[in-house]
Amino acid sequence: MLSAVLGLFSQDLALDLGTSHTRIWMRNHGVVIDEPTVVAVHRNTRGRRKVLAIGKDALPMLGRTPHDVHTVKPIKDGRIADFEVAEALLVHLVRRVHGRNSLMSPRMVVAVPCSTSDVERRAVRDSCKRAGAREVHLVPRSLAAAIGANLPIEQPRGHLVVDIGGGAAEIGVLSLRGVVASKSVPGGGEAMDEAIVTMLRDRFDLLVGHGTAERLKLEIGAAMTRPPATSRVAGRCLRTGVPRAVEVSAEDVTTALAPAIDAIAAGIREVLEGTPPGLASDVAEHGVVLVGGASSLRRLDIALRDRIGLPVMVLDEGRAAAVTGIGRALESRDLLEAVSC
């Protein structure tokens, strides 16, 4: 009863704590937060940590802090690696969108990887409660992404969705509002950046940061070679130690990205092997749907199609599919109960 009354006043929230971005969806408003998942933390001489900046305010500090300040990325490979910092981020962002009024305790729905352990689930629930939630629901990320992609998951038909984010590719076959087979493949867009850093070091003796590698990926990166393109990249020469710039081709970048794409293709094949034949043939007929930031890599659909032999579609505006999907689940008690884990 009390919960129902509070519900009249609260602004329920859907949360997706991603490796690269934290997104919050609020009823009647849509996505209200989409910020880098980065926290700048000061550690005093007794080892106590205090938050200095979060999200877009903390991002420029990455790699530019004095020795007692650390920039922490609390999510690794799509799962929470530093619960204390992740909770601090959550508390700050929830306060920002929801104010401090304790009477307005929201319901919170959180997207989690399919393979999340009971201990991790409990920790997420506890963190949300401390951030002010009166009720917490957890939804598998691939199911959330499928709802966000408007797939008819209530039907007895198999759909395969891959959410390729910064830290992981979350692969799921879904039917009747449930996950039939799933796998989280570590490595997404940030592993692609890392592969570019390694390629520049090995081929050009050039040391660059992840930000430069990401810029190169966005500028000329593609999953398959395309008309010739080049980009100038500045870094530190590993032989002389002084700044230097080199001309890098799109083909160099494509070659560097291939192993990351192979890993996603292998993950999709593995999930299909664990899918009952009837549902697998639905997938073969309707194809694979890609969402998440890194699914926008040029020609990724074609590169994956060639590797797995199935049609592949990239959802337009699919970056925030998971948080939009759990937001939609928040609007229907029936759907929320069916998809919660």
User: What DSSP string runs through 212-257?
Assistant: HHHHHHHHH-BSS--S--EEEEEEEETTT-SEEEEEEEHHHHHHHH
Give the list of residues 6+ apart from residue 316 with CB closer than 8 angstroms, or none. none
User: Does residue 293 bind ligand ATP (CB under 6 A)?
Assistant: yes
Q: Give residue for tokens 């005093």.
A: 44
User: Does residue 188 bind Mg ion (CB under 5 A)?
Assistant: no
Give the list of residues 6+ apart from residue 302 with CB closer than 8 angstroms, or none. 223, 224, 312
CB of 214: closest distance to ligand ATP in angstroms? 5
User: Does residue 327 bind Mg ion (CB under 5 A)?
Assistant: no
Within 168-207, the residues that bind ligand ATP by CB under 6 A are 168, 188-190
CA 196 vs. chain centroid, Å, equals 20
CA distance 11 to 25: 10
178-186, strands of its sheet edge to edge? 178-186, 168-175, 159-164, 288-291, 312-314
- The answer to whether 261 and 304 have CB atoms below 8 angstroms apart is yes
- The answer to whether 247 and 230 have CB atoms below 8 angstroms apart is yes
Going by the DSSP 8-state scheme, the letter that residue 49 receives in this structure is E
Pick the closer one to Mg ion by CB: 55 or 165. Answer: 165
CA 28 vs. chain centroid, Å, equals 23
Q: Which two tokens stand for residue 137?
A: 């629901």
Within 221-260, the residues that bind ligand ATP by CB under 6 A are 221
Q: Which two tokens stand for residue 281?
A: 């043939």
Contacted entry of ligand ATP, Mg ion, none for residue 183, CB cut-off 5 to 8 Å set by kind = none
Residues facing 179 on adjacent strands = 174
Judged by CB under 5 A, the stretch of 87-95, 162-170, 197-205, 236-244 that binds Mg ion is 162-170
Judged by CB under 6 A, which of 106, 132, 148, 165 binds ligand ATP?
165
Judged by CB under 6 A, which of 180, 297, 308, 335 binds ligand ATP?
297
Contacted entry of Mg ion, ligand ATP, none for residue 279, CB cut-off 5 to 8 Å set by kind = none
Contacted entry of Mg ion, ligand ATP, none for residue 182, CB cut-off 5 to 8 Å set by kind = none
Contacted entry of Mg ion, ligand ATP, none for residue 140, CB cut-off 5 to 8 Å set by kind = none
Judged by CB under 5 A, the stretch of 152-160, 164-172, 220-228, 304-312 that binds Mg ion is 164-172
- The answer to whether 303 and 310 have CB atoms below 8 angstroms apart is no
* Size of interface with ligand ATP, in residues (CB under 6 A): 23
Pick the closer one to ligand ATP by CB: 15 or 133. Answer: 15
CA 327 vs. chain centroid, Å, equals 16
Within 14-53, the residues that bind ligand ATP by CB under 6 A are 18-21
Judged by CB under 5 A, the stretch of 13-21, 27-35, 81-89, 307-315 that binds Mg ion is 13-21
Going by the DSSP 8-state scheme, the letter that residue 76 receives in this structure is E
Judged by CB under 6 A, the stretch of 99-107, 129-137, 159-167, 265-273 that binds ligand ATP is 159-167
CA 169 vs. chain centroid, Å, equals 8
Judged by CB under 5 A, the stretch of 161-169, 211-219, 266-274, 282-290 that binds Mg ion is 161-169
Within 53-92, the residues that bind ligand ATP by CB under 6 A are 75, 78
Pick the closer one to ligand ATP by CB: 280 or 326. Answer: 326
Residues in the site for ligand ATP, rule: CB under 6 A?
18-21, 75, 78, 165-168, 188-190, 214, 217-218, 221, 292-294, 296-297, 319
Contacts with Mg ion, residue ranges (CB under 5 A): 18, 165
